[in-house]
Structure 1
Amino acid sequence: MDYQTDLKTVTDHELLAAFLGEHNDRKRCLELRTQFWNTFPTLADYKHAPQRRKDDFFGSTDKSLCQLLIGIEIGERIARASRPLLGNIYSSKQVGEKLITEFRNDQQENLCLICLDVKHRIISQQIIFKGTLTTCPVHPREIFAVALEQHAESILIAHNHPSGMTEPSTNDIEFTHRLEQCGQLLGINLLDSFVIGQCDYLSLREEKIIEAAG
Structure 2
Amino acid sequence: MGQQKKRKEKLLQLFKTLSPISAFSKQQARERCADLTPQFVSLALKDLVREGILDRYESSDQETYAWRNAQIRVDPSHWIERQVSGNQVTAQPEQERPRERLLSSGAETLSDADLLAILIRVGVKGESAIEAGKRLSKTFSDKLSDLRRSGKDELRNISPAITVTSYAAIMAGIELGRRVARHEQLHRRAHGPITSTSAAVEFCDDAFSGLAISGVQEEFHIVTLSTKHLPINTHLITRGTLDASLVHPREVFRPAIRDSASAVILVHNHPSGDATPSREDHQVTDRMTEVGQLLGITVLDHIVVASEGSVSIRELA
Question: What's the TM-score bracket when you normalise by the shorter of the two chains?
Answer: 0.5 to 0.7
- In the TM superposition, 1:124-135 aligns within 5 A as 124-131=233-240, 134-135=241-242
Query: Could you tell me which amino acid in structure 2 is paired with residue 121 of structure 1?
Result: L
Q: Which residue of 2 aligns with 1:5?
A: none
Please say which of residues 154-163 and 134-143 is displaced more in the overlay: 134-143
Distance between the aligned counterparts of 1:156 and 1:164, measured in 2? 20
Q: Does 2:210 match 1:102?
A: yes
Distance between the aligned counterparts of 1:206 and 1:144, measured in 2? 23
Secondary structure of the 2:293 match is helix
Greater RCO between the two (CA within 8 Å, min separation 6)?
Answer: 1
Query: Could you tell me which amino acid in structure 2 is paired with residue 147 of structure 1?
Result: A
- Stretches of structure 1 lacking an aligned partner (at least 5 in a row): 1-84, 210-214
- Stretches of structure 2 lacking an aligned partner (at least 5 in a row): 1-185
Distance between the aligned counterparts of 1:128 and 1:113, measured in 2? 7
Q: TM-score, normalised by structure 2?
A: 0.36
Q: Which residue of 1 aligns with 2:274?
A: 165
Q: Which residue of 2 aligns with 1:139?
A: 248
Q: TM-score, normalised by structure 1?
A: 0.53
Q: Which residue of 2 aligns with 1:33?
A: none
C-alpha deviation, 1:119, in angstroms: 1.0
C-alpha deviation, 1:93, in angstroms: 3.2
- In the TM superposition, 1:65-104 aligns within 5 A as 86=187, 87=190, 88-90=192-194, 91-99=199-207, 101-103=209-211, 104=213
Structure of larger gyration radius: 2
Q: Which has the higher helix share?
A: 2
CA contact (8 A) 1:100 1:197 kept: no
Q: Quick one: structure 1 residues 181 and 135, their matched pair in 2 at CA, closer, same or farther if it must change by over 3 Å? A: closer
C-alpha deviation, 1:99, in angstroms: 4.4
Q: Give % identity.
A: 34
Query: Could you tell me which amino acid in structure 1 is paired with residue 256 of structure 2?
Result: A
Distance between the aligned counterparts of 1:102 and 1:206, measured in 2? 23
Query: Could you tell me which amino acid in structure 1 is paired with residue 251 of structure 2?
Result: E
Alignment deviations for residues 170-204 of structure 1 (CA, whole Å, 9 cap, x no partner): 11101100000011111100000011111201101
Query: What do you get for the CA RMSD once the two structures are aligned?
Result: 1.8
CA contact (8 A) 1:99 1:196 kept: no
CA contact (8 A) 1:89 1:95 kept: no
Distance between the aligned counterparts of 2:221 and 2:309, measured in 1? 16
Query: Could you tell me which amino acid in structure 1 is paired with residue 310 of structure 2?
Result: Y
C-alpha deviation, 1:92, in angstroms: 2.4
